[in-house]
Chain A
Amino acid sequence: MLPEIGQFLMVLAFCLAAIQSILPLLGAQRGQLSWMRMAPNLAWAQFAALAFAYGLLTYAFIYHDFSVAYAASNSSINLPIEYRISAVWGGHEGSLLLWILILGGWGVAVASFSNNLPVAMSSRVLAVMGMVSVGFIGFMVFTSNPFDRLMMVPLDGNDLNPMLQDPGMIFHPPLLYMGYVGFAVAFAFAMAALIGGRLDASWARWSRPWTTVAWVFLTLGIALGSWWAYAELGWGGWWFWDPVENASFMPWLLATALIHSLAVTEKRGAFRSWTVMLAILTFALTIVGAFLVRSGVITSVHAFATDPTRGVYILVFLAVVIGASLILYAWRAPKVGMGGGFSSWSRETVLLANNVLLVVACSAVFIGTMYPLIIDALGMGKMSVGPPYFNSVFVPLMVPLLIMMIIGPLVSWKNATFKGSFERLYPVLAVGLLAAVVWPLTMGEWGLIPAVMIFIATGIVGTFIVDLLPRIKAPDFAGRIAKMKKLNTSWLGMHVAHVGMAITIIGMAMAASYQTEKDVRVAPGDVVELAGYSFTFKGVQEVRGANYSSLYGTVEIRENGELVTILNPEKRTYDKHQGMPMTQASIDRSVFRDLYVSLGDPVGTTGAWIVRVYYKPFMTWLWTGVIIMSVGGILAISDRRYRVKIKRRLTGRKEEPQAVVD
């Protein structure tokens, strides 16, 4: 009975979303306040229906209702509770339901925090959100019902795919989806502004915090996925240019461009139509991502088993979204106007270059990802585009972009001079050069790539410092602290995010340039020497887990005879997936290096194994930098100006809903 209620709720949510996409929009066009006022309630009702449905599906997983086909194929009696809850998003149908639930959640968030918007604007935003919901809920209702029943109820389920039985599974998909789906909000704001014909600085100010929040989630989601692949897959890599990684990375690149372009639109009123275009494209790329993952066109750890109607549905949805938004754009954008002018050397120019480079980089990734798929679809042969392509295109495009991060924050808006921009930079460049010469030498061997990256990273940090110092200039310590507290958080957020990027760059460059690895065959008692550490292989024993048995290795690591740590790489075989052993790498992390051991295959009869050992310098910096980037994003949106109107409202000045003028 419960699953049927779940199914009913899905249909209900679909209908509510349909009403939400029409009524408030008509209300906004005709000035019907009562219709517009329906929008937040509809958003809440839709979210409640989805949350209830989601709860019912989770219930089926927790209490082993294997009559639900989706639960039967993704859970089992012995699956630990945390994985039963996260197994709900372990397959196509459930992860789509999570996606839709999060979309509904964003709708509710917009409904709750849009009190400072003119009611016509917020109604249009919610109407567009409703349309997006219609598209995705329809996808679920028509092609992928998670509540389908089985005629023959199995005694036990098929268990969650062993790959997904990892703590990463609990956090990676929800965070990533929060990011992905969040760009629907940026898209909805852009569409609402186009419909209303009001594409100005205040639109940028409204849409900016939403875009930044979505960006923060996407950043964390991608990084967590990378962190998971690093720990779980036993390949020791953290980025593979796999089509599905690219599917999340392309919107990230465009969203990063969008954040910067929104800054120009808000501060200077320029780039308006370009910003709208970016919002549309970013959202379109999130749908492309859904297509790549859910249509079965690619082989990947992420690909769900699929049937072709799903791919067709998403393609049609994508065509409708792009078609409709571009028509609206073509109709409305020419009336928008150019906004404030700027000279050829100004903050605007630097940000324009930032946008061009990010868009070009995104296009390069897009071509590399889609070309083999298109050639295959046309029956013109099979080929693949591997990491060498992406590295040789992406890195040269990123270097100028990163160099601009050193200069950018010091260039004034509208009209700057080279002298004014670079004056304060000389000490920074000097320190950067020094670091570029010396730091790589401490790693054993000087190399060009790490040197360039270190120069850039120190430059970015240095720029923050020279930009900060004049702002906190005061005669005494207390004065400096007082000034520090008054710093503009939006400005601070930008610098913190840039510093995070700098730290990540160092992590990437060092790990890529100075890692050492060995694949060796070891018998119990054998010692492997790597980067000054000696790894002693103590052998492998059998250990039993909740729903798997494990070959549990023990490796002792010593440095100059001192015990550093004991690592336990595993090879797990899950009861329900006997044919699918899982490698579980074991990693000792510290500030300056990771030591990484994973088990290959057993060889011979003497208990010998093939073991892979890595020494990876500065890996921790990579992840830490990403967290700092996200903190920067959060700082940026905590800026007072985004809350000004709400405060005014709370102090008693009631705002009249603005009349709708088109």
Chain B
Amino acid sequence: MKARSKRLVLIGVIIVAFGAAVMLVLNAFQENLVFFHTPTEVKEREVAYDRQIRIGGLVEKGTFKREEETTTVTFNVTDGESSILVSYTGILPDLFREGQGIVAEGKLLTSGLFVASHVFAKHDETYMPPEAAEALKRAAEKAEAAAQATAKPIPVEKGE
């Protein structure tokens, strides 16, 4: 082959390889992006029932229950505004306890029960997972907006 056509073949191969890779990436992205929602959003909005999502917040005090004779636990995750019942089977992270910020990944059932496949707590006692912090922040902002709205007759516009 001539140098020129050789280079063309090379470039062609590289483009095909890149194209395949891009398709692979986009495809995998679409299927595997896990969106984060706060408990309030789950309650209010339509959240997809057929795909993995993450929810975050605090483990509500007094809601942690362990089913006898199994390794399944249930607890509520709250952002201070709404709370969701979560069930999880398996070993919880070391830092899991009531009142602690956690993130749960799993699927929402139509019954409203969130079945978690993973539960994350931050590996440090002083910090909470940013998603959990975000959930609390969003709920607080909302509450504040609501309070302002009732205080003043003029509705306050808030993003969200």
Contacts and interface: CB of A to CB of B under 8 A. Distances in A.
Contacts of B21: 360, 363-364, 393, 397
A393 B123 contact: no
Interface stretch (A53-61, A380-388, A403-411): A380-388
A161 interface: yes
Contacts of B95: 579-581
B36 interface: yes
A182 B40 CA distance: 48
A343 B52 CA distance: 48
B144 to A, nearest CB: 18
B112 interface: no
B36 A385 contact: no
Contacts of A357: 17
A163 interface: yes
Contacts of A521: 69-71
Contacts of A612: 90-91
B1 A344 contact: yes
Contacts of B28: 388-389, 392-393
A29 B32 CA distance: 53
Interface in A169-211: none
A384 B92 contact: no
Contacts of A389: 28-29, 31-33
Contacts of A356: 14, 17-18
Contacts of B31: 388-389, 392
Nearest to A367: B25
Nearest to B120: A299
Nearest to A352: B10
A305 B123 CA distance: 12
A646 B156 CA distance: 77
Contacts, number: 116
A600 interface: yes
A386 B34 contact: yes
B49 interface: no
A370 interface: no
Contact of B123 (A301, A392, A600): A301
B25 to A, nearest CB: 5
A610 interface: yes
A529 interface: no
Contacts of A381: 35-36
Given A364-B24, A383-B36, A601 B123 contact: no
A305 B71 contact: no
Contact of B124 (A385, A571, A580): A580
Nearest to A301: B123
A396 interface: yes
Most chain B CB within 10 A, of A305, A392, A598, A612, is at: A392
A360 B34 contact: no
Interface in A568-621: 571, 577, 579-583, 598, 600-601, 603, 610, 612
Q: Say which size band chain B's interface belongs to.
A: 35 or more
Nearest to A302: B123
Contacts of A364: 21, 24-25
A577 B125 contact: yes
Interface in A358-405: 360, 363-364, 367-368, 371, 381-386, 388-389, 392-393, 396-397
B98 interface: no
Interface in B1-41: 1, 3, 6, 9-10, 13-14, 17-18, 21, 24-25, 27-29, 31-36
Contacts of A582: 94
Given A364-B24, A381-B35, A383-B35, A583 B70 contact: no
Given A344-B9, A397-B21, A519 B71 contact: yes
Contact of A580 (B1, B54, B71, B94): B94
A337 interface: no
Contacts of A603: 66
Contacts of B80: none
A535 B17 CA distance: 49
B36 A600 contact: no
A15 to B, nearest CB: 36
A118 interface: no
A420 interface: no
B34 to A, nearest CB: 5
A520 interface: yes
Given A356-B17, A389-B32, A601-B92, A384 B123 contact: no
The 9 closest A-B pairs by CB, nearest first: A600-B91, A382-B36, A389-B32, A579-B125, A360-B21, A392-B28, A580-B125, A388-B32, A383-B35
26 contacts: A163-B123, A234-B94, A299-B127, A305-B127, A343-B6, A344-B10, A349-B10, A352-B10, A353-B17, A356-B17, A382-B36, A382-B130, A383-B33, A384-B54, A385-B32, A385-B34, A389-B28, A389-B32, A519-B91, A521-B70, A571-B94, A579-B95, A580-B124, A581-B95, A610-B71, A610-B91
Interface of A: 161, 163, 234, 299, 301, 305, 341, 343-344, 349, 352-353, 356-357, 360, 363-364, 367-368, 371, 381-386, 388-389, 392-393, 396-397, 519-521, 571, 577, 579-583, 598, 600-601, 603, 610, 612
Interface of B: 1, 3, 6, 9-10, 13-14, 17-18, 21, 24-25, 27-29, 31-36, 52, 54, 66, 69-71, 89-92, 94-95, 105, 122-127, 129-131, 134
